[in-house]
A and B are shown apart, each in its own frame.
Chain A
Amino acid sequence: MADDIFTYAPAPESRSVVRLRSSYGLFIDGAFADPAEGRSLKTVNPADEEVLAEVAVAGEADVDRAVAAARRAYETVWGPMPGAERAKYLFRIARILQERSRELAVLESLDNGKPIKETRDVDLPLVAAHFFYYAGWADKLGHAGLGADPRPLGVAAQVIPWNFPLLMLAWKIAPALATGNTVVLKPAETTPLSALVFAEICQEAELPPGVVNIVTGAGETGRALVAHGGVDKVAFTGSTEVGKEIARTVAGTRKRVTLELGGKGANIVYDDAALDQAVEGIVTGIFFNQGHVCCAGSRLLVQESVAEDVLERLKRRISTLRMGDPLDKNTDIGAINSAAQLDKIRELSGIGDDEGAQRWTAPCELPSRGYWFPPTVFTGVTQAHRIAREEIFGPVLSVLTFRTPAEAVEKANNTPFGLSAGVWTEKGSRMLWTANRLRAGVIWSNTFNKFDPTSPFGGYKESGYGREGGRHGLEGYIRG
């Protein structure tokens, strides 16, 4: 390309704002403590495979202590506390999050691999906003339309994924605390660090001990937490497979459950759409956060008459995306979060080749160390292809075409998932017609991947149940 005259100089964000400790304990009852069995895991920077810190692995005994601390705090402090007082703690936490947002953004980029542009401009502002939003609810629950005297459930067990570590923590902890519950939260094994800094923030805010407990570890720790007899509520964000396991575990108990699971979002582009805007939306839909987004628009459904045009513009646009150092402020696409996830993306895209879809990869250099996967587009995809049915959770777009609106809806809904969908058209009635028929919890029309604490988020069908965000987000934590 001739536009090499404009070259990018690296603009790295400084790491010095982050003070990493070499090892982290579990945060139980207001203090950091060593795990009973003394096991630990290492968390690495996926951009260069450097070990960032050692983190404790909580066993059953630790989970038990954390749940007991949460129960004590619920019964003696947090449950009885007036909502207005709870609110002030949450406002305090929100303010500290804002004050320390650059530090947390850098830390998140280090631990997760996502570009600083996203952690700085999307994750952290939303994290603080979420705490602000739910802080305001704490003393207004009687007005939420969930009964005249809504009561908390008790102790909430919360298990979150690695794609938006601190944001998912905010989605879980803010509504739980606002409604008077106490929590035991398990961050993902590959991204535990921002949750541990959040624990420090709880100390800084002088949140009563036991109200928030953070137990780090892998699947085994999560299972112990979900199955613990002392929890009243389970909230999980992650894969549909694990979501089903959790639904089985809690069957027959009185535990309440909300599950926010996988997706295979359809992004429908009609022939009358503003194509350049649509192309931006397609790129945001699948390449935001390296495609590690449960609501990603991973299936592009484009009307046949404009398919060629859209694909050409799309490839041109993708070719301008900058992939590399997550801490570089120019970076659009960061690292894949883990070696395991990279393997999964490679495996599924390999299946795309085997099944006869045509792969196109953006021309970009991959760094020599770390986990990387270039932006990839598969064309000639049919509904039977596994890359059109299974969640890849990476920067891989499957392109299908349609002729009529009815066909678009039919194909969009032909999935066990139902989390998100996109509609691109300049005609309002067509947009609403389509949105009405899509079986998905969030419909972005002429936009994509927008989030807000006031806006409920969650899926239909096997994308899970319950909503997070907004007034609806209170429902999962309240007994009416």
Chain B
Amino acid sequence: MAETPESSERSEQAGKTVARRPGGRAARTKRADEGAPPQVEPARPAEPPAVAAQGRLAVRKTYKLYVGGAFPRSESGRSYPVTDPQGGLLANAALASRKDARDAVVAARRAFGGWSGRTAYNRGQVLYRVAEMLEGRLGQFADEVAAADAVPRERAEALVAAAIDRWVWYAGWTDKIASVAGGANPVAGPYFNLSTPEPTGVVAVFAPPEAPLLGLVSVLAPVIATGNTAVVVASERAPLPAVTLAEVLATSDLPGGVVNLLTGRLAELAPPLAAHADVNALDLTGAGALAAELEEAAAGTLKRVLRPAEGRTDWTAEPGTERLTAFLETKTVWHPIGV
């Protein structure tokens, strides 16, 4: 998908209420046809942009989708304003369409053979590299998490640190889960019989809305650690750390398409993913009120479904292996023994 210059994107947005703020950043009202009530007041700019002491104007980032290893805008040309809890504008994020979701599934399917075919050791190396890249960007993530959740900087740093440690924890699982979840079966006959776990395939992950980085890492890392590929719908409210995570993934030797990240409306993106015949499994952790409807849609092709947990999840607690095994299939191979 080709990049469009900012200017042309703006011209495509003609007719919308546009509030400019210093630095040329604009916050638009939500469009009535997006299903949300039209916003009368334009979003306020959050903090005044940090103009460097030298009087230099900061270069801002465009938050885009991450599909097939590239960073396209939504094919629909849409975006939506992302705000902090007080309503201050943080940035515009891409408002992905159903078509973007389908493209993401195609990319994830294409990447599945290669990624699931890597050795478990190699997947562990790549995932550990992701943690290294996360560590290098700790400050940036802490800024984004602090802004998204309006938490003190110190708390945000702790959450980012927990997310990095969580990633390392799952990186270490890649070459151990088969020993734990599989094994030899002592059948009553002269047969070699071995059960091994294999990745389910393409998993659509609805990230938890409340924990934009730690929650996202906690649901995404286990999916890809075992060799699945993922289409992730980021927290609708706070998608910016997710996009930055995608930038980390893109620079960590993770093959394109293994993780595909969509930002936008859950209600628009989740139903087509839940009904998509080339999606093998759903993680409904962040599906909220849509969970039952999505599970029902998943029944059409018998997708594996991880239901949302009952009650609130403590994302800082050490997880068990449930999120790893939820997206594994057990394959059992028999062979006669004889001379």
Q: Write the residues of chain A forming the contact surface with B, with a CB cutoff of 8 angstroms.
A: 129, 145, 147, 240, 243-245, 247-248, 251-252, 254, 259, 261, 416, 431-432, 435, 438, 440-447, 450, 452, 454-458, 460-462, 464-465, 467, 470-472, 480
Asked if residues A445 and B333 are in contact (CB atoms below 8 Å), the reply is: yes
Closest 7 CB pairs of A and B: A252-B292, A247-B299, A251-B295, A452-B187, A251-B296, A248-B299, A454-B185
Shortest Cβ distance from residue B94 to the other chain A in the assembled complex, whole angstroms: 30
Complex interface: chain A residues within 8 A of B24 (CB): none
CB-CB contacts of B158-202 with A at 8 A, as 1s and 0s?
000000000000000000000011010111110101010000100
Give the distance in Å from the alpha carbon of A450 to the alpha carbon of B180 in the complex. 25
> Does B302 contact A259, Cβ atoms closer than 8 Å?
yes
Contacts A145-B181, A432-B333, A480-B322 supplied; 10 other A-B pairs, CB < 8 Å: A247-B302, A252-B293, A259-B302, A261-B302, A445-B333, A445-B335, A446-B336, A452-B187, A454-B187, A461-B301
Q: Which residue of A lies closest to B200 (CB)?
A: A460
A206 to chain B, nearest CB (A): 28
Please report the C-alpha to C-alpha distance between residue A336 and residue B246 in the assembled complex, in whole angstroms.
56
Quick one: given A252-B295, A450-B191, A454-B186, are A461 and B302 in contact (CB under 8 Å)?
A: yes
CB-CB under 8 A from A452, the residues of chain B are 185, 187-189, 191, 193
| Contact A416–B320 (Cβ < 8 Å) | no
Check: B331 CB closer than 8 A to any chain A CB.
yes
User: In whole angstroms, what is the CA distance A88 to B74 when docked?
Assistant: 62
B30 at interface, CB cutoff 8 A: no
Within 8 A of A (CB), among B82-129: none
CB distance from B109 to the nearest CB of A (A): 13
Evaluate contact between B191 and A456: CB separation under 8 angstroms. Answer: no
Is B187's CB under 8 angstroms from A247's CB?
Answer: no
Distance, CA A244 to CA B291, complexed state (A): 17
Question: Shortest Cβ distance from B337 into chain A, in angstroms?
Answer: 10
Known: A450-B191, A455-B187. A247 touches B334 (CB 8 A): no
* Chain B nearest CB, measured from A128 CB (Å): 11
B332 touches A461 (CB 8 A): no
Name the A residues within 8 Å of B188 (CB-CB). 129, 452, 454
Which single member of B191, B195, B299, B332 contacts A251 (CB below 8 Å)? Answer: B299
Q: Is B304 an interface residue (CB 8 A)?
A: yes
Cβ contact within 8 Å between A252 and B195: no
Complex: A480 Cα to B330 Cα, angstroms: 19
B300, A252: Cβ atoms under 8 Å?
Answer: no
Q: A243-B302, A470-B185 are in contact. Are A431 and B335 (CB under 8 A)?
A: yes
Give Cα A248–Cα B293 distance, bound, in whole angstroms.
9
B329 in the interface (beta carbon within 8 A):
yes
Given contacts A455-B195, A480-B322, A244 and B335 within 8 Å (CB-CB) = no
B298: interface (CB < 8 Å):
yes
Chain B residues whose CB sits within 8 angstroms of the CB of A129 once the complex forms: 188
User: With A and B bound together, what is the CA distance between A455 and B332 in angstroms?
Assistant: 7
Contacts of A147 in B (CB 8 A): 320
Cβ contact within 8 Å between A247 and B185: no
Residues of chain B contacted by A243 (CB below 8 angstroms): 302
Name B302's contact: one of A438, A447, A464, A472 (CB within 8 Å): A464
B330 touches A472 (CB 8 A): yes
Most chain B beta-carbon neighbours within 10 Å: one of A432, A441, A444, A455: A455
Q: Please list 11 pairs of residues, one from A and one from B, whose beta carbons are closer than 8 Å in the complex, sorted by A's number.
A: A248-B296, A251-B298, A261-B302, A441-B330, A441-B332, A443-B334, A445-B334, A447-B191, A452-B189, A460-B200, A465-B302
A338 to chain B, nearest CB (A): 25
Say how far B330's CB is from chain A's closest CB, in angstroms: 5
Kindly state whether residue B280 has any CB partner on chain A within 8 Å: yes
* Least distance between B302 CB and chain A CB atoms (Å): 5
Taking CB as reference atom, which chain B residue is nearest A240? B302
B195 touches A472 (CB 8 A): yes
Chain B nearest CB from A95 CB (Å) reads 17
Is the Cβ of A443 less than 8 Å from the Cβ of B331?
Answer: yes
A455 & B185 in contact (Cβ 8 Å cutoff): yes
CB distance from B331 to the nearest CB of A (A): 6
